[in-house]
Copies of this chain bind each other. A is one copy, B any other.
Amino acid sequence: MPKRRSLPLSKVYGLLETGPVVLVTTAHKGRSNIMTQSWHTMMEFEPPLIGCVISARNYSFDLLDASRQCVFNIPTAELLKQVVGIGNCSGKKIDKFKKFGLTPLAAECVQAPLIDECYANLECKVVDRKLVNSYNFFILEVVQAWIVPGLKEPQTLHHRGNGNFMIAGPTVKTTSKMK
B38 touches A39 (CB 8 A): no
Per-residue interface assignment for chain A, residues 143 to 179, with 1 indicating a CB less than 8 Å from any chain B CB and 0 otherwise: 0000000000101001111111111111111111111
Q: Contacts A53-B42, A166-B169 hold; do A20 and B19 have CB atoms under 8 A apart?
A: yes
Chain B residue with Cβ nearest A19: B19
Identify A168's interface contact among B36, B80, B130, B169, CB under 8 A. Answer: B169
A131 on the B face (CB < 8 A): yes
Which residues of chain B are near A128, meaning CB under 8 Å? 134
Q: How many copies does the complex hold?
A: 2
A137 on the B face (CB < 8 A): yes
Number of interface residues of A (CB under 8 A): 54
A44 touches B159 (CB 8 A): no
Chain B residue with Cβ nearest A77: B172
Identify A160's interface contact among B18, B130, B139, B158, CB under 8 A. Answer: B18
- Least CB distance from A3 to B in Å reads 22
Give Cα distance in the complex from A19 to B157, angstroms. 10
- Least CB distance from A41 to B in Å reads 4
Which residues of chain B are near A91, meaning CB under 8 Å? none
- Least CB distance from A152 to B in Å reads 10
Spell out A's residues near B (CB within 8 Å): 11, 13-14, 17-20, 36, 38-44, 49, 51-53, 80, 84, 87-88, 128, 130-131, 134-135, 137, 139, 153, 155, 158-179
